[in-house]
Structure 1
Amino acid sequence: MPPEEFPLCDIPKYHAGVMPQTVAVRCDGDELTWTRLHRESNRVARGLRRCGVSTGSIVTLALPGGVDMIVSAFACYKVGATPQPLSTKLTEREIGEILALAEPAAIVVDAADSGVPGGATVDRLRELGATDEDLPTVVAPSWKAPTSGGSTGRPKIILSGRPATYRAFDAEVWGIGSADRLLVPAPLHHNAPFGTAMAGLFTGATVTLMRKFDPEGTLELVNRHAISWLYLVPTMMRRIHALPDEIKQRHDLSGLRSVWHVAEPCPPWLKRAWIDWLGADVIWELYGGTEAQAGCTVNGREWLAHPGTVGRATWGEIKIVDVDGADVTTPRTAGEVYLRPAPESPEPYRYIGAEAKELDGWESLGDVGEFDEDGYLYLHDRLSDMIIAGGVNIYPAEVESALVEHPAVLSSAVIGLPDADSGNRVHAIVETSAADPVSEAEIAAHAATRLAPHKRPKTIEISHEPLRDDTGKMRRSALRSERISP
């Protein structure tokens, strides 16, 4: 394991010197040992340098994921640049706005016809690099620059406040050890998949990636590579859980030591199902923003004692604030969640294109939640997504959690639509399989057994299109705009 503050640019060389033929990363048939990762990233780094990239630059990685994303990220470190993963599925407008904010020195794309202007392919950078000789050690001022694609209508870049040096805490907070074998089936343009995959590599673990999530394919990879650490989002958990029992039993999952889920609320019934399947000590959850001011973790055993919690603060500090800006000190009283780093800690991030919502040194990510008597945090929903109908606050996540308990429902999105009587009405968009039809009346009857009358959807829409992507993200604001546009 590298020493603290070891330059990230030298990580591949460090591990290649210790375990040259050990697999560092693999994806869909592509596989790189530490020696090959070191040499490939050297070559691409030299290509970036010839494109004008230098220390302090941002390099946009508009790649679909896979081995080339990892090679390109390390190539950025080797020229002192900050990697900025960018989803290739954003609209042309969104991509343009983010690139205008980042002002990248180079854009790395998967193919010449990627649709991202001014991009150079990884193959082209290899050609320009010409040689895989080592480069001088250099440290980028920031180790990552995740992007927000504009779910609130305001795209932004979240530039890490930490330089590109090794910090053991990045792996420790996720329970990742150097001997672990990670599987990350989510797209690397999202912060958590990118951060966990890189943290695993920094510490010397082997990382397996998937270009596209597949429920049975995930179990097959866990079996084939004796995966010990697995990253999921609840949408993935739901799809794996829905597999027939004979398929789930076909794969040996006994090597799994940790299964982590993040990014979206996990329905309690689904979490219990996974705890029953794999064991309470295996299931873990992390709550925190890309900004990383503070965060919580909780394992399945703690969760069973505090059902619904996202845990207690593992790093930084968290408090609840009421509508008047006063601290909430009474347990089980909801308010806005505010976070801040531990005293005397360096600033964890800097926005490009946005301003933080700040209150006396504390910052809000827009979540509503409460603490219990033991200091465990429970989340209600995003403040911006809350529906006020007839003067009553309704949290979409609570309604969605009830809807996905129906066996035919794969996912759901609950939004508020204009209503002449109550101001807003609760509207549910329910994702089902075309092969497993269910009527709006059936969904309404199901909701009636689980939700109080004021929380039940007044209108229901059946969709066979995915509502969440493979990172578990969903844009309620966009769904609402589509349905109220003239």
Structure 2
Amino acid sequence: MPSPQVALSAILAHHAQGAPSRLAVVQDDVGVSYAELDARTNRRARWLASQGAGYGDFVTVALPNGLEFYETVFALWKLGAIPNIVAAKLARPELEAILDIVRPRLFVGSAPAPGIATLAPGQPVPDRYSADSLPEVVSPHWKAMTSGGSTGRPKVIVDAMPAQWNPEEGFLLQRPGDVILNPGPLYHNAPFHCISMGMFVGATIVEMGRFDALRALQLIEAHGVNWVTMVPTMMHRIWQLGPEVLSQFSLPSLRMMLHMAAPCAPWLKEAWIDWLGGERVWEYYGTTEGIGSTIISGTDWLAHRGSVGRVREGYEMKILDEAGLERATGEVGEVYFRPDGGPGSTYHYLGSASKRVGDWETVGDLGSVDEAGYLYLADRRNDLIISGGANIYPAEVEAAIDAHPAVRGSAVIGLPDEEWGARVHAIVQPLEDSGLEEQELLDFVADRLARFKLPRSIEFTPEPLRDEAGKVRRAALRQARLEPAAGA
């Protein structure tokens, strides 16, 4: 018989009762047990309540990865509040747009929020607040994540799941009591969701604070990490450490490296499979909205190279054209999902509207399915480049560029062209002191792509093109390059 659901307000106490000394979070070699974290969050919850936070209230949290972040989020669940997670250093206009949409009862962060009660970070909880248990409560929504999207006004994705979980039910093959490394920024949905779910089943979280390729490998071995989620940017940086460094790590404790959140170049995926084995390298594709997802093991991927897997239990998937008609097997169209609970059963938007065809919904990804039902992603519809009447998917071009050993990362966008309608423009971040030149890179890419997909212009930059979660805002990059031309 399955274990019952436990309110997130009580889940730390649940694990503390079973194993009081088990570590909940480890950062910089300092560990905090589940019992200690439970007591600390009780005190912090009372402090947050004194600032006005309560049941059903949105509270915007703008804190960096660290113990204060974990304490704050669990404290909000203890009040029945809804954590709205944003980046600690979010640009002021974007932050103000989010606050205008959410209208939170409280803002926790360093940026002042006019008209909203604000609690600055880094302050110790006053001694007057008790560490005794609080009454159990279940928030109506366990999280409200923000997304800047590729264009326009930010949107907030309010998860439909109440704040409760079965502490024996591991998410994405996590197991109760695992040791899990967090290399990603918790203001992004993928790390926040996965790391929170890990704690719901009593995992020990090894928190990196900020990603570093070599340190990630060292922490996995030092702490006996069983499960980690990464983005392809992290995988690329680890791979660029080179064979002499990688040969020093076998990562024997690591049962599962799950990558997600951005397309992974096939050559990089295959390299990791060769290194760790197909049963330890997995890929997940899903949406913050929770409308559908797929998963695939490395072994399965080798038989269906380039796929992100088949739809998971609890969802259905279709590929539709712009008229809402189903595409034939192998034809690219927009990826639509339908959860078993129907539209609106997994989330609702603040500040945006869903795109639906009947009961089917999409977030704008393009892809195709094979005869066995395996999904192959192409790109986002908003990022598609149509040059000379041909469809060019930026992610495919980026994968070819990133395969060059002197490239740290790239972003491909379409810029206006009188002859072709749009031309492929590559923005490339080379490794420092690599001396990489345009013609060398073009010659390299020409061996990997059809001629019509080759960049017609290349721009080198020392600046990172993707954030810590592997995300790239191609629309913003494109707009920045169009504005000087408009003002000329």
TM-score by length of structure 1 reads 0.96
Change (3 A) 1:324 1:332: same
Q: 1:485 aligns with which of 466, 483, 486?
A: 483
Would the aligned equivalents of 2:168 and 2:176 in 1 still touch at CA under 8 Å? Answer: no
Q: Hey, what's the Cα distance between the residues in 2 that align with 1:370 and 1:169? A: 35
User: What corresponds to 1:427 in structure 2?
Assistant: 425
Other-structure match for 1:121: 120
1:84 aligns with 2:84: yes
Q: CA deviation at 1:150?
A: 4.3
Q: Per the alignment, in what secondary structure is the counterpart of residue 126 of structure 1?
A: coil
Alignment of 1:28-107 (within 5 A): 28-107=28-107
Q: CA deviation at 1:41?
A: 0.5
CA contact (8 A) 1:44 1:129 kept: no
| 1:59-82 deviation per Cα after TM superposition (whole angstroms, max 9, x unaligned) | 111001122111111100100101
3-state DSSP class of the match of 1:157? strand
In 2, Cα distance between the equivalents of 1:472 and 1:129? 42
Question: Could you say which residue in structure 2 is the equivalent of 1:449?
Answer: 447
In the alignment, the residues of structure 2 paired with residue 122 and residue 15 of structure 1 have an alpha-carbon distance, to the nearest angstrom, of 27
Shift of 1:129: 6.1
Segment of structure 1 superposing worse, 3-12 or 214-223: 3-12
Name the counterpart of 1:27. 27
Residue 302 of structure 1: how far off its partner (Å): 0.5
User: Quick check: 1:171–1:196 contact (8 Å CA) kept in 2?
Assistant: no
**Paired residues of 2:309 and 2:374 also in contact (CA < 8 A):** yes
Amino acid at match of 1:155: P
Counterpart secondary structure, 1:474: coil
Task: State whether residues 342 and 359 of structure 2, in contact with CA within 8 Å, keep that contact through their aligned partners in structure 1.
Answer: no
Structure-2 change in CA distance of 1:31 and 1:197 (3 Å): same
2:226 match:
228
The secondary structure found in structure 1 opposite 2:214 is: helix
Gaps of 5+ in 1: none
* Equivalenced residues, count: 481
1:439 aligns with 2:427: no
- Indicate how the Cα distance of structure 1 residues 477 and 48 shifts in structure 2: closer, same or farther if over 3 A, else same: same
**Deviation by residue 1:327-372 (Cα, 9 ceiling, x = unmatched):** 12x2111111111101569710010000001110111110110001
Label 1:204 to 1:255 Cα distance change in 2 as closer, same or farther (>3 A): same
Shift of 1:115: 5.7
Is the Cα contact below 8 Å between 1:321 and 1:327 reproduced in 2?
A: yes
Q: Which amino acid is the alignment partner of residue 326 of structure 2?
A: D
Find the partner of 2:355 among 334, 354, 357.
357
Match of 1:417 in 2: 415
Unaligned runs of 5+ in 2: none
The counterpart of 1:347, out of the listed 339, 345, 348, is 345
Counterpart mapping for 1:157-196 below 5 A: 157-167=156-166, 171-172=170-171, 174-196=172-194
Whole-angstrom CA distance in 2 between matches of 1:122 and 1:130: 17
Deviation larger for 445-454 or 246-255: 246-255
Identify which range, 217-226 or 115-124, moves more after superposition: 115-124
Q: Deviations over 1:423-478 (max 9, x none)?
A: 11110001112221200111111122111121110000111211111100010000
After superposition, what is the alpha-carbon deviation per residue over 1:42-75, rounded to whole angstroms, capped at 9, x for unaligned?
A: 0110011101111000111100112211111110
Distance (whole Å) between structure 2 residues aligned to residue 86 and residue 259 of structure 1: 26
Relative to structure 1, the CA distance from residue 156 to residue 346 in structure 2 (aligned partners, 3 Å threshold; closer, same or farther) is closer
- Shift, 1:314, TM fit: 0.8
Q: Distance in 1 between matches of 2:250 and 2:22?
A: 23
Distance 2:381 2:58 in 1: 32
In 2, Cα distance between equivalents of 1:107 and 1:100 = 12
Q: How does 1:162-311 map to 2 (within 5 A)?
A: 162-167=161-166, 171-172=170-171, 174-311=172-309
In structure 2, what is the equivalent of residue 156 of structure 1?
Answer: 155
Aligned residue for 1:9, secondary structure, equals coil
CA displacement, residues 140-170 of structure 1 (integer Å, 9 cap, x when unaligned):
0000001013432220110001110114697
Change (3 A) 1:270 1:326: same
1:91 aligned partner, one-letter code: A
Q: Does the aligned pair in 2 maintain the 1:142–1:161 contact within 8 Å?
A: yes
- Alpha-carbon distance change, 124 to 89 in structure 1, aligned in 2, over 3 angstroms: closer
CA RMSD in angstroms comes to 1.8
Whether the 8 Å contact between 1:293 and 1:339 is mirrored in structure 2 is yes
* Distance (whole Å) between structure 1 residues aligned to residue 15 and residue 423 of structure 2: 57
In 2: Cα distance, 1:343 partner to 1:68 partner: 35
- Identify the residue that residue 15 of structure 2 maps to in structure 1: 15
Q: Is the 8 A contact 2:317 2:338 kept in 1?
A: yes
Equivalent residue in structure 1 for 2:374, among 363, 373, 376: 376
1:145 aligned residue: 144
Q: Is the CA contact (8 Å cut-off) linking 1:95 and 1:116 kept in structure 2?
A: no
- CA distance in structure 2 between the partners assigned to 1:373 and 1:168 by the alignment: 37
Partner of 1:318: 317
Give the Å deviation of 1:106. Answer: 1.2
